[in-house]
Every structure is written in structure tokens, then in C-alpha cells.
Structure 1
Amino acid sequence: MTADLGNEKRALRAELRQRRRTRTTTERDTDTTALTATLQRFVEERQVRSLALYLSAPDEPDVRPFLRWAHEQGVRVLLPITREDGLLDWAVGDGVSEQQGLHGMPEVVGEVLSPLALGDVDAILTPAAAVGHDGCRMGWGRGYYDKTLGSMANRPPVYAVIFDAEYLDEVPREAHDEPVDGIITPSRIITFRS
């Protein structure tokens, strides 16, 4: 990574974090309701029976109401567990049981499955800081999802869950950055490639 590219990513991440922190309660509630409906539509239209998701932190798009709905509908949801080696393990989540993970982020409590369990899902829904129009996903800098997605020979469709304003013309890209197949925002589903 060049110093300029690293600085560009850090500056963009800082700007995006600040935007997320200054959102009002009304904006968050409105987006959560809309995002839940959009995620439900994604699952129903694609007849998804199993997926990988994440437990959203307070500033992230809130996927928790959707997670509870998915559990009630019998959709099998795998949630990540961070590992010291930079990879992710997975566990089946119920939308309720959680603990604090390696980096202070919420993580699922459950029987730990290997990273290979990810190959059995119909779709992977990842967190992201932003996504460019070309499908380049920029995460928060730890590389967990890039490593996980980059290690999969046959991966299911991958969609980043972001706020509408985080769908940008472009984001800084490094060789290790894994693209996504689409995005899901409170207002829409966009597929880049299938």
C-alpha cells in the first residue's frame, strides 16, 4: 500500500465515521425500518434459506430487527466470530445471544463452526464503510472480510450493507480489497454482477 492510498483510506473512513456518529435518532429509526424491509425483500425474492450476516454495532446500519425476523422465518443465519489470526469463524445466531468480541464488537454466542461453513450459505451480507460504483468495498481496516472472501474458491453472492450516502462514485482500492456483488441500503438493492 502506498502512503498516499493509506492516507486517503484513513481520511475517508474518518469522514464516514463522523457522518455515522452525527445521525439523529429519527434518521436512524427511519433507516432501520426501511433497511429491515429491504433485507426482507432480498431474502424473499431470492428465496434465501441460509445467509451470513453480522451483529451491527451502534453506528452501523441496524440489521438486528431483520436478524430477529430471519430467525422467526426459519432462515439459518451464520454470524462471525473474530480470530486472532485475522480470519473469521462462524456460529448460528438467534438474534439475541451475544458477547463482546476480540475488538470490542458484538459477537454471537454459539457453537463455533469453521470458516468453511460459509460455503453453505445462499448469500453473504457484509458490513462496509463504503462501496464504489464498480463494486469495490472499503471496510474499516482490519481486513477480516477481505481475507475471508479472498480465501473462498466458490463463494456465494456477497452484498455489502451500507447507508445510501455510502454508495460512492469510487473508493480507494488496494490489491487485497475484495469486490462485492452488490449493495443493500435502506432504499434499494443494487446488483453489480451475478
Structure 2
Amino acid sequence: MHRDRFKEELRVETLAARARMSPSDWEKSDAARDSHILDRLAARKGTVALYSSRPGEPGTHALIDALAASGWAVLLPVLRRRVDWALFDSWAAMQPAWAGIEEPTGARLGPDALDAADLILVPCLAIGRDGSRLGTGGGWYDRALPHRHSGAPVVALARAAEVLDTVPTLPHDIPVDAVVTETEWVNLATRTIMDW
């Protein structure tokens, strides 16, 4: 119970800190984070699984546009109880869904679509340098990530202030391999990420 309480306290604290950020601060932070990602991916093409951000979390809309424009296929979550994915085509082919989060209107590809992803970029509220990840509490990514192929790194998007030594986890929580903040891309202690 102590671990659950600490997780909830950390969630509340992080959300409060994020709420204090101005739109200008978010814009600068997102642009810097995107730059680190796009620099890493400049010589690559493939499929990236990403999320469509909502206000108050690391933004992904410009990143989605940049990746799609550079030839990456972008998989986005279809947020239901059952894990599902669809390909990003354009913002005109998106619709608001659960909690106002936009999702593609195209064909549903099922949970195994994640096996096609070469890179998986996930949201978080805090991240540990040991690879521990604090999500929003719904467990969607913990249900989704077992469908990835073993070589696909899982990389969290966060603010530098949200990177801690460790965050509380439960047995079903899946660790991440790296974190990208406004200051840097950091490979974490979970495993060696070759060429990333």
C-alpha cells in the first residue's frame, strides 16, 4: 500500500508542476526534446509508435508531423480497454476520443501492430534512471508493450525535472530503455541500446 500511495503522491506532484508551466515554456521544452529525437533518427526510416499528446504533457504533434514528413510510419494508440493501434495519416484523419485524446480514424491494426515498431516513444509522469516508469495509472502501456519485438527500444518523453533515481513500480510495470528530455537523450540502466 505504501508504494501505491507514493505513486499517487508523485503523480499529483508532477501534474501540479506541469500545470505551472506556461504555454511558452511547453513550446520551448517540446522543441528541444523533438530536436534530440529527430537528430537521433535523421539517418533512419521505419515505424515509430508514438502517442498523440494532450495539453499538460510533453507535446508530440510537431514531432508526429516531422517524423511523418521524413518518411517514418507513425503508429498511434487507439485508447480502449483492449490495446489497439492505427497509422497516422493526417490531422484531418484524426478524431477526439477518450479524454479528448486524438486518434486516427483509419483501420484498426490490433495489439500485435506494435511488433512492427522499430522505436516506441511513451508518455510518463516520472522516470527513474534505473528504467522505472511512472505512468498516469491506467496501465494501457503495460498491456501494450508485451506485443513489441525484443529489439525495439522503449523511450519515455519527460521533462528533466521528472527524471529521478527511481520511481515506485509494481510487478506488472514494464521498464523503459531511455528517456528524452528538453536537455538530452539518456540511455538508462535496463539494457544496452545499440545504435540508439
Q: Same fold (TM over 0.5)?
A: yes
Q: Is the 8 A contact 1:55 1:108 kept in 2?
A: no
Matched residue, 1:26:
24
| Number of aligned residues | 189
1:74 aligns with 2:71: yes
**Residue type of the alignment partner of 1:44:** A
Structural RMSD (CA): 1.6
Matched residue, 2:111:
115
- C-alpha change, 1:151 and 1:29, in structure 2 (3 Å) is closer
What stretches of structure 1 of length at least 5 have no aligned partner? Answer: none
Matched residue, 2:187:
191
**Residue type of the alignment partner of 1:71:** A
SS at match of 2:59: coil
**Residue type of the alignment partner of 1:20:** R
- C-alpha change, 1:151 and 1:9, in structure 2 (3 Å) is same
What stretches of structure 2 of length at least 5 have no aligned partner? Answer: none
Give, in angstroms, the shift of residue 102 of structure 1: 2.9
**Selected match of 2:48 from 43, 51, 54:** 51
State how far apart, in whole Å, the 2-side matches of 1:132 and 1:125 are: 16
SS at match of 1:99: strand
Q: TM-score, normalised by structure 1?
A: 0.91
Give, in angstroms, the shift of residue 151 of structure 1: 4.8
**Residue type of the alignment partner of 2:17:** R
Matched residue, 1:136:
132
- C-alpha change, 1:128 and 1:189, in structure 2 (3 Å) is same
- C-alpha change, 1:36 and 1:102, in structure 2 (3 Å) is same
Give, in angstroms, the shift of residue 137 of structure 1: 0.8
- C-alpha change, 1:188 and 1:148, in structure 2 (3 Å) is same
**Selected match of 2:10 from 2, 9, 12:** 12
